[in-house]
Amino acid sequence: MSFTVAIVGRPNVGKSTLFNRLTGKRLALVDDQPGVTRDWREGEGRLGPHSFRVLDTAGLDEAAPESLEARMLAQTESALEQADGALFLIDGRAGLTPIDEYFADWLRKWGKPVRVVANKCEGLAGESGYLESFALGLGDPIRISAEHGEGMTDLLDVLDALEESSDFREAEQDSEHALNMAIVGRPNVGKSTLINALSGEDRMLVGPEAGLTRDSISVAWEDDGRPVRLFDTAGMRKKAKVVERVEKMSVDDGLRAIRFAQVVVLVLDATGGFDRQDRVIAHMIAREGRACIIALNKWDLVDDPDTVLAELREEIGHALPPLWGVPILPISALTGAGLRKIMPKVWEVYETWNVRIPTARINRWLDDALAAHQPPSASGRRIKMRYATQIKARPPTVLVFCSKPDALPESYIRYLTNSLREEFGLWGIPLRLRLKKGKNPYA
């Protein structure tokens, strides 16, 4: 990607729709409700011969200092600092507004190329707004409809100019070889604060309000020279409490982040214990087969750390058999306590998640497990366990051939799974044991 372009404008003018159009994917949440986007997000845009980095930003609005809107504006400023130029979107159907004029002057002060784009101009609907936008004095406006894909070729001239004027900065992260790491948890447990602390910059919007994050935002980062892509996700509440359409879309976006992640950090509020929703999220992680660690955030607010940690370890151990032995790290994203322990554990469970065990070692384990505890009989006949092999990694999946797989009780399958986990140190990851009936050579 040779240059970076930011999409800016007041709320609800279609910035995220244009972002999705340029990237060719539905990465950003889109809704008629203003202010859906809060953090800026990036994607790889493609239009004609151009491949470029495109940034979607929060809606520009005047706001009092320290307010949520002011913090959103600061996030947009952060995106503009990285961009080679900007597309300033206005709503062609609504026409030019005082806020558009105010932020047009604001954009001039950045000293970067800015081009006005009148969106929602399908047919003749935005003709008057398009003509009004000439008054902003930012060059000839472009008329498009991001929703319907109209006018996209007119953007090529803008991209040509940006490519010529940019310094051709290449992306620092090799996304194809980066570790994908999702940060998940309930609302207001400190997920965005943790990403800011790990990356060393105020990349994510944070504050005391619950539910600030809506999109799953990816952040490119390096841990000791190794590329990592951090995914911040929206807080996941109980399903019965999620009634707004935007929140449902945010939760779905978070679930997609878990599916595409390799390691998931489940953030818990150490002052609130391990509740039912935490358990639901943890089982989602196990069901998707992701490696996992648990971060007990806000540890600086805990009065009796030793007692609380012992109770939480016991409770989590009993509640999460699919993630038996998951690393549990007390941290404080706000003060930085314990953060240095996170990435070594992340790389450790990632290596375990990718492990390949030789078939000979697995069959030696199976012989020892059978000698210690024979499988029960079915209809008066002993179930024979003949052979085992690992059929895949990420997560490790072991196939065991036996005479009557349907008759083997769940308790014995759990015994084999726990024995396999202990034998090969497969802690903190889902471990899958599959049974298959072997062919009878005399049939």
With b meaning 16 or more CB within 10 Å and e meaning fewer, what string describes 364-394? ebbeebeeeeebeeeeeeebebeebebeeee
Give the whole-angstrom CA distance, residue 71 versus residue 205: 7
pLDDT per residue over 91-105, tens digit each? 988 888 888 888 888
Position 204 pLDDT exceeds 70: no
241 or 291, which is more confident: 291
pLDDT per residue over 254-271, tens digit each? 788 888 899 999 999 999
Indicate the CATH number for domain 179-353.
3.40.50.300
CA-nearest of 406, 397, 395 to 436 is 406
pLDDT of residue 420: 95
Residues with Cβ within 8 Å of residue 68, at least 6 apart in sequence: 205, 207, 209, 212
Give the whole-angstrom CA distance, residue 185 versus residue 136: 44
Indicate left, alpha or beta for 214 from its phi (over 0: left) and psi (-120 to 50: alpha): alpha
pLDDT per residue over 100-146, tens digit each? 888 888 888 777 888 899 998 887 778 888 888 888 888 888 888 88
pLDDT per residue over 364-405, tens digit each? 999 999 999 999 888 888 888 989 999 999 999 999 999 889
Position 214 pLDDT exceeds 60: no
Give the whole-angstrom CA distance, residue 424 versus residue 409: 23
pLDDT per residue over 330-362, tens digit each? 999 999 999 999 999 999 999 999 999 999 999
pLDDT per residue over 36-91, tens digit each? 555 677 788 888 888 888 888 876 766 555 565 666 677 777 778 778 888 899 99
4-165 topology per CATH: Rossmann fold (3.40.50)
Position 240 pLDDT exceeds 70: no
One-character DSSP codes across 93-141: TT---HHHHHHHHHHHTTTS-EEEEEES-STTTTHHHHHHGGGG-SSS-
Give 143's strand partners: 118
Lowest mean pLDDT among 93-97, 295-299, 311-315, 437-441: 437-441
With b meaning 16 or more CB within 10 Å and e meaning fewer, what string describes 254-292? bbbbbeebbbbbbbbbbeeebeebbeebbebbbebbbbb
Pick among 3.40.50.880, 3.40.50.720, 3.40.50.2300, 3.30.300.20: CATH of 359-437 = 3.30.300.20
pLDDT of residue 203: 60
pLDDT of residue 170: 40
162 or 260, which is more confident: 260
Is cis: bond before 227, omega within 30 of 0? Answer: no
E strand or H helix at 6? strand 4-9
Residues with Cβ within 8 Å of residue 202, at least 6 apart in sequence: 74, 78, 196
Position 206 pLDDT exceeds 70: no
pLDDT of residue 174: 44
pLDDT of residue 241: 55
Tokens, residue 23: 């990237």
E strand or H helix at 273? none
- Do 4-165 and 179-353 have matching folds? yes
Lowest mean pLDDT among 208-217, 223-232, 411-420: 208-217
Domain ranges of the chain: 4-165, 179-353, 359-437
Sign of the torsion formed by the C-alpha atoms of 295, 299, 301 and 302:
positive
Mean pLDDT rounded to a whole number for the chain: 82
pLDDT of residue 168: 41
